[in-house]
Amino acid sequence: MKEELLIASALVSTLGAASVANAVTATMSGGHHAGLKGSSIDDGTADTTSAVTQSSFSVSLSETTDGGVGVASSFMLANESDSGLHTAGITLTFTDGSKLDLINAGNAANSHDVSVPGSAGEPGVTVASTNHAQDGLDFFGQATAVGIEWHSAADFMADGLKIGASFSSDTGAAAAASVKLESSWGLGATYVTSAGDTALTLGAGIADSDWKDSGTAPSSGSNGFHVGFSAVTGDLTVAAGYANGDDVIDSTTASEVEVNDNTVTKIGAKYVAGDITLSIGFTSAAGKDSGTLGTAGTTEDAKDTLAAGISYAVASGVTANIGYVDVDSQNDGANDTKGGTSWYIGANMSF
């Protein structure tokens, strides 16, 4: 019996060593933030204060073939910031520096939008559910899980230029009583240059999509374009972006709507002073929504958001945040009372 145990132990040890030797490289990352959020809504309801705690934990996998091609993927074990775990497909990195995303690839227009500074932490005001004004620069860039996205290497055809292209197709999901994304494509570009002591980043993207339906089709798909820039001079960053297009909001609650002629304008700035970062931003968004698919929107929804924040690097991986937002809401062509203000104070811990 003793010999059998020794043999079994040696076999397990050998298999374990073999599995480690042949394993891909795995790295872990994640974060946790905790804080207090307060809100004051214009409709006169009582002010609220609530605790905000959210965590995330992800694993990245990578390896390189003998031919020098990198193969990578990732998955999340936890993500409380939204309802998805963001499981990635496969990313191939070629020897010339270009990349190809396979499965859950996304939309190339979204990969090249410019980041515009705003608040810090998690302040926020929830406007009326019937206000469908989209306030992100990439609101039109949908994609199905069955898709690819190609990323060029740096300095593609010109110093500082990177471009991307994507395509996704029908997953086979039935439209049922609503609509489902059938196909989409996107193009994007980022150009980095300098003007004296200022580093400039220019970003742009365009995308379009087709939808299938079981009854009434949308009058138009999700489509549009965005442009933006970011200028960094020393510790000061100034950025702005603009987007225009149509959107189809697909919902499992059978509340699919169209948002036509949606525009988004964002401007912001941040200043880094040692361990402290000050930020401020303004977003103006407006779009015409329709409660019936197949009918273009005629009444305008709008959201104007002023945001500001202070971040302090307490220690490596630990950041204290104070944030504030003020939201002015307009629904169906008239000002409503669902806007308001919100503040946040808390800390982020990441690894």
Nearest-angstrom CA–CA distance, 276 and 158: 36
pLDDT at position 251, please? 61
**Within a domain: 3:** no
Give the total number of structural domains in the chain.
1
**Within a domain: 189:** yes
pLDDT at position 252, please? 54
**Within a domain: 53:** no
pLDDT at position 83, please? 62
Task: Find out whether 125 and 341 touch, Cβ atoms under 8 Å.
Answer: yes
Cβ neighbours, 10 Å, residue 25: 10
Task: Find out whether 302 and 286 touch, Cβ atoms under 8 Å.
Answer: yes
**Within a domain: 206:** yes
Burial of 260 (0-12, 13-18, 19+ CB in 10 A): buried
Provide the residue range defining the domain that includes 219. Answer: 91-308+325-339
**Within a domain: 68:** no
Q: How far is CA 158 from CA 188, 272, 322, in A?
A: 15, 31, 41
Q: What does the DSSP 8-state code read for residue 220? A: S
**Within a domain: 266:** yes
Nearest-angstrom CA–CA distance, 214 and 221: 15
**Within a domain: 203:** yes
Extract the tokens encoding 28.
Answer: 């872990």
**Within a domain: 71:** no
Residues with pLDDT less than 70, the chain: 1-22, 82-84, 176-177, 215-216, 251-255, 291-292
